Structure 1
Amino acid sequence: MGDDDGLVRGAWLPVTGVDGEVRAVGLLEALTGSHGLARLDLPVPTMLPAVLRQLLLPIVFDALGVPRSRGEWGKRFTQGGFSAEEKEKLLDYLGPRYGDRFELFSSRPFAQVAGLTALNGETKPSTLLVPSVASGNNVPLFSALSEADHLDLTPAQAALWLMHAHCWDTAAIKTGAVGDGQAKNGKTTGNPTGPLGQFGVIVPTGGTLYETLLLNTPVLPDGLAAGDRPQWAWDERPASCAATSPAGPEWSVRPAGGLLDLLTFPSRRIRLIPAETEQGLRVRQVVVCAGDRLALTPGEEPHTAWMHLAKPKAGRSARRPRRHASGRAAWQGLGALLALALPQDGDGPYTSVLLRQTGQLFADRYLPADFALGVETCGLEYGNQSAVVENAIADSLPLPVASLLAADEWLRQPILDCVDQADRVARVLDGLHSDLRRACGGEPLPRDKGERPSARFLHAVDGRMRRLLAGLRTIGDDYDTLERAQQAWEVTLRQAALREADGLLAAAPPRAVVGRTEKVNGKEIVFRSGKAAGVFHKRLGEILTRTVDAATGEGEAA
């Protein structure tokens, strides 16, 4: 992407076509040709929601408006791509109206503050934008670069990491900017992470980029809020809006002014500093300062699931955004993804706005029963007062749209039962492991230490669960096939559990056969390998009821 090409027509956004070809396109081609593109082909999973929110979705919403009914949404879906009239509107939006606002290095640069200067006059390496590279306090364990090294970003790479920083940047101390009256001693403190760092992101996806854009388009009966503007059109906000301009160094603590403002929320004030190198124009230095602080994640946030609180503390919301659990596959969290109704009693999960809407669209027959719905989940785990990135969480999952029917649990409940079975079998394996350790004279592993057999077991069945979910997308209303799928899943669990259990029993030393006696809650209990194996098989049979007869037959034969 050349300096004069900009984001609109310059080839900078990596995509994969429906034919499998990987190439780079500009904004205009990505949108008008979205029906021929399978997906965005981005460097890291956390970049997908950043590009959708900071760029693609707000352009479509602002240029074309959001659907005001599910019928209007269904009409757009049936088109399979943007109509000729819609393409003309996008062309006008990215041309005469706002085309000059999608330049990286201009007098009004995209998502930046022109001329932004640190109070100390210094700039920082471009590594500050990339969480996986060492910079300042953020020192990843396996980073190939140190803060002293240069990271030359092409303009295309810089554009992607610029949007990523607005969404995911670390918290804590930021460089004070010239013109920022709230900076003290050359810095600002108390900065939160970027908005997406506050929750676990859930992005529904389709077979094409066009379908993905639609699946991430909420139906709003009243349309967009009056005066709601994206960050590149902030000068058009109402005069009554007291928020500071993202094109200047000052910032404010404020709520989002609407969907467009929420998606493009300017959580940092950033300036990319280009330099000519032997390889062409590169971004080696940046200035990153404090930006607007979102007062609260609003209930309209489309890309998170929620935890509903039955008795919230005084002054607190009854709902708070859910985070993804580290070390767990996305399918292990299907209970939250498929929680389509508010919990009636006590605390509980509530799925995202967009997944609930997808179920409603399927119920209204605007989505076919065999629609290839996918779900991308991602999140960052921060440490040390959220000033460093400790871990990235990302997964993708096929999901049957019929499982999102709020009024019918015929498919959703069996899927949740399959997930629950895997979780229970995993705990039974850990119980066997603990009993064998006691039989040998040891102690069970602490909850947060050591390698557990449950982790190996869940990894072993991971691929089968994904195939199961993908297969159920085309099941229609075939109850017999559903029953066979559940039985096949139990066979998978049983075989994987027995393999893991056999390994644990084979590794137990001879003294485990004799075992030992110890007091547990005031009672003397004998722990030995034979007893542990018997308890394991009994509990396994209680969980996997469809295979209990087969298991009994195998035991007799043995």
Structure 2
Amino acid sequence: MDADGDLVHGAVLTTVDTDGTVRTTGLLNVLTGAHTVRRLELPVPTMLPALLRHLLLPVVLDALGVPRTRQEWAQRLQRGRFSDSEVQQLTDYLESRYGDRFRLFDDKRPFAQVGGLEALNGETKSAAQLVPSIASGNNVPLFSVLTEGDELLLTPAQALLWLLHAHGWDTAAIKTGAAGDPQAKNGKTVGNPTGPLGQLGVIVPVGANLFETLLLNTPILPDGLHPADRPQWAWDERLASLGSKAPAGPEWSSRPAAGLLDLLTFQARRIRLLTIETEQGPRVHRAIVCAGDRLTETPESDPHTAWSHTAKPKAGQRQRRPRRHVSGRSAWQGLGTLLALALPVEGDGPYTSLLLRQIGDLRADDALPADYPLGVEICGLEYGNQSAVVENSIGDSLPLPVASLLAEDDWLRTAILECVSQADQAGRALDNLNNDLRRAAGGDPLPRDRGQRPSSRLMHSLDTTMRRLLAGLRTVGDDDDRLERAQVAWELSVRAAAVREAEALLAAAPPRAVVGRVEKSNGKEIVYRSGKAAGIFYKKLTEILPLATVDGASNGEAAA
């Protein structure tokens, strides 16, 4: 790579092509050959939305414009690649028009950074502060392989990814005060929120290749992009009347996004990467991370998050707020949110992302085939201690039948959500069995926030089955018989897995659980013993799974 870190032609992005070839190339080659790229090779799941939003999508949208109708969107999909004229537009955009804006180590205008940025105290910190999984400052992961005293050398390609990751996901609280920032005091800036992505439950639809993924993440805007909307590398073209601070300087402002391009490339931090020369070329070893622009609120036009809808918000509360993911759950357990295509009729509830709703509309117009291999990537970070540290990372992928996103035809969506509900109910029945056995043995129920529950093991054992079911339902079409066979197979799998867990619990129960004990509750005597607990469980399981045969369970129920 050149000394200035050329992103357009330098080896900065690693891809896995549709033929399995792994290659590292520049931004221009990745985009113009996007139809040959199966996926991007990235270190962590949270990197995908950061790279899409801060680099790939805004380049494509600004260079080519957004589709204004579903028909225009469908025409792009049918081509299956960027046309020759679009390739030329991308080339002109990244070379003659803005080529000098995509240099990572440029002295005057480094990409997504502030040239000459200095801390008020004159200090710099290890590049490890850009990587949440490495110990740095207050953020001390339990299994970090490095300490803050160890030197971390990032290649230009690694530095680019973690730079974009910091703009999207950086922790909150105190940041280094920047020289020239009038809002910095005593060498620091306080009250910083997390990066914009850290406030979302990120949902990214993915296609069969990078070209389709970019298209699936492109909103259809009837009026096109706002004339005043510019990405961060073209900030000097923004209207002065907007009142925003230049992201190439140390000052920052609290403001709403001026449009889609501004939102995607929002500069939530002021950063400068510092390099040293090594035998292998330039390496980033130090960094300065200061306060950046603060997004006053996540606009409802944000394409990459689901929402929590509040029917009667309190004074000053928004009716719709980003809905974050819950750790410890597979993506399919959250299908109730992903498939929430309409606002709750009464009360509060989830509302899925703009892009998934758009995909459903495209399917309704036959712009997407019913058997299209749609996938969904979800990711998020869990923060702790005033959001100043990262406690957990969430990442999962899921096949999703596009027919389940049809707003006016909910037959497949209803069947999928019923399958998810059955697994959840079977899990609760197992937890109740476990608690009843503990009581029968003279103990107490498992505390809500402690210990591993049988339901967790059940969900884990059903994970592969559910993903196989969802992948199979992509091609179910209008075949009701095939759908019913799939539901029967699912219920049989759930029953078999639940019975295995139940038998393990019963086998582990001590002999005194057979005799049991009596507890008084509200003046009534309740008998707890293993036989009674097993009978209740098997009866409940039969109610939950009506299509499953009971022959395999009858012996167990009789023995209980």
Task: Give the percent of matched residue pairs that are identical in Structure 1 and Structure 2.
Answer: 70
The match for 1:383 is: 384
Q: Aligned with 1:504: secondary structure?
A: helix
Query: How does 1:119-268 map onto structure 2 within 5 Å?
Result: 119-268=120-269
Matches of 1:553 and 1:189, distance apart in 2: 64
Which residue of 1 is the match for residue 317 of structure 2? 316
Q: Structure 2 matches for 1:354-433, cutoff 5 A? A: 354-433=355-434
CA distance in 2, matches of 1:553, 1:517: 28
Question: Is the partner of 2:224 in helix, strand or coil?
Answer: coil
SS at match of 1:29: helix
The question of whether the paired residues in 1 share the 8 Å contact of 2:270 and 2:291 is answered with yes
Q: In the alignment, which residue of structure 1 is the partner of 2:63? A: 63
Q: CA deviation at 1:555?
A: 5.4
Question: 2: CA distance between counterparts of 1:522 and 1:354?
Answer: 55
Write the letter of the residue equivalent to 2:27: L
Per-residue CA distance 1:288-342 (angstroms, 9 max, x = gap): 0000000001000100000110010112211010010110000000000000001
Aligned to 1:114: 115
Report the secondary structure of 2:336's partner residue.
helix
Task: Give 1:507's aligned amino acid.
Answer: A
- 3-state SS of 1:61 partner: helix
Distance 1:179 1:420 in 2: 56
Alpha-carbon shift at residue 363 of structure 1 (Å)? 0.7
SS in 1 for 2:471: helix
- 2-side partners of 1:557 and 1:176: how far apart? 71
Deviations 1:515-538 (A, max 9, x none): 000123432100000000000000
2:5·2:104 contact (CA, 8 Å) conserved in 1?
Answer: no
Equivalent-residue separation in structure 1 for 2:208 and 2:2 (angstroms) = 31
Q: What is the DSSP-based 3-state SS (H/G/I as helix, E as strand, rest coil) of the residue aligned with 1:9?
A: coil
RMSD: 1.1
1:225 CA drift (Å): 1.3
Report how far residue 477 of structure 1 moved. 1.0
Classify the secondary structure of the residue corresponding to 1:196: helix
Give the alignment's TM-score, normalised by structure 2: 0.98
Q: How many residues align?
A: 558
**Residue aligned with 1:314, SS:** coil
Q: Which residue of 1 aligns with 2:441?
A: 440
Aligned residue number for residue 482 of structure 1: 483
* Cα displacement (A) at 1:557: 8.7
Structure 2, unpaired ranges of 5+? none
AA in 2 matched with 1:511: R
Gapped regions of structure 1 (runs ≥ 5): none
The answer (yes or no) to whether the contact 2:231–2:261 under 8 Å persists in 1 is yes
What CA deviation, in whole Å up to 9, does each residue of 1:346-394 have, x standing for no partner? Answer: 0010000000000100110011111000000000000000000000000
For 2:296, give the aligned amino acid.
A
Say if 2:18 is the partner of 1:18: yes
**Whole-angstrom distance in 2 between the partners of 1:226 and 1:556:** 69
Matched, 1:471 2:472: yes
Residue 552 of structure 1: how far off its partner (Å): 6.2
SS at match of 1:286: strand
- Which residue of 1 is the match for residue 457 of structure 2? 456
| 1:407 maps to amino acid | E
Corresponding residue of 2:7: 7
Distance, in Å, in 2 between the alignment partners of 1:141 and 1:529 is 40
Distance in 2, matches of 1:453 and 1:232, equals: 52
Give 1:553 deviation, angstroms.
5.3
**How far did 1:162 drift?**
0.2
Spell out, residue by residue over 1:445-490, the C-alpha distance to the aligned partner (whole angstroms, 9 max, x if none): 1100011111111100100000000011111111111000000000
1: CA distance, partners of 2:523 / 2:319: 42
Within 2, Cα distance between the matches of 1:521 and 1:213?
Answer: 60
Structure 2 counterpart of 1:26, which letter? G
Distance 1:447 1:381 in 2: 20
C-alpha displacement of 1:554: 5.0
Instruction: Name the residue aligned to 1:92.
Output: 92
Aligned counterparts of 2:398 and 2:432: Cα–Cα separation in 1: 29
What TM-score does the superposition give when structure 1 sets the normalisation length? 0.99
Please tell me the residue identity of whatever aligns with 1:145.
L
CA deviation map 1:378-411 (0-9, x unaligned): 0000000000000000000000000000000110
Q: After TM superposition, give the deviation of residue 277 of structure 1 in Å.
A: 1.9
Q: Specify the SS of the correspondent of 1:546.
A: coil
Task: Please give the alpha-carbon distance, in whole angstroms, between the structure 1 residues aligned to 2:33 and 2:100.
Answer: 21
* Cα gap change, 1:556 to 1:454, in 2 (>3 Å): closer
